[in-house]
A and B are shown apart, each in its own frame.
Chain A
Amino acid sequence: MTGVDVRPAGTVVVSGVSSDAHTWNLVYLQLLIEELGFEVVNLGPCVPDELLVDTCARVRPVMVVVSSVNGHGHVDGLRLIRALRTRVELDGVVAVIGGKLGIDDGDAEQNAAKLVAAGYDAVFADGAGVGDFRALVRSLRPELRPELRPDLRRELRPDLRPELEESA
């Protein structure tokens, strides 16, 4: 569909966090990442930490994308990345988180710093475009990967969250 080579460049795991029932953000990310040539395993909303970690251990993704929009992402996401980073077989997997991660926008900087310190390679805060995220995913194509990782940790701050919601 994007005219690039047919073979997937690898698998990306997309996931919500344990307390978040939102879906449309995850659907959007799946389509976006598939368009960039990757296969996506989408775990959907309300994902327990161990399900995400076990799935990653099984499918060995090139990247894990966590998205949360209910305001609890800075808590759930922190617990999640600590669990993921204890698994040696997942050493080196790129992990990012984005969305509306806190209840109060004023805490965004601090939340992002904590999340990076705990092991995320990038935090995509609420409110910007999706261009930098797209650039990051594209750069994970095998032929491009080696140069990329080091400078991600500081420079990327765009948005993973299309403005979507709705529940019962």
Chain B
Amino acid sequence: MNVNRLPEGIFVIIIGLVTIWLSLGYSYMERFTPGPGFFPFWLGLLLTVLGFIMLVSSAAQVRTLRRQQVTSDSRPVGNEVTKEEPVIGASTPFTGWSDLSKVFAALIILVLLVLAMDWLGTTISVALFTILLIWFLNPRVSWKIVLGTGVLVAVASYLLFVVTLEVPLPKGIFGF
């Protein structure tokens, strides 16, 4: 367990303050009734308070942990902490850079799908997307399975969404 929540706390405070600032643009009271700015203002304030709670608790935990780690050599053997060991460190949102690159690669493939939909039409885009993603997730899969799945997913989604449910999906230059 990572107890350092400093960046998260600061982030929450920033969202809270921005919300308060934006809500001041809407009227807080209109005659005797709370106006459109009333609810967002209080939400922003609550977020800011929660962010500070996170900061304070994080700082307190880090301090006690540091103290413990200084004296940790005197800890008796056999009294090991069975729960997740708290760690002081930068709180990184990712488990590693390879994960991050994987996630971004997947997102880029998704963004490409959405961008391609208007141009190539949904059906072809879906086929290309499926092929690209399978290849990205597991390059060892035989190309027959990759191509077959791509075509199958595209045809099935066309039949389900366009033919049966009549969703007006982007058609693109080929008209389907």
A binds B: no
A contact set with B: CB distance below 8 Å: none
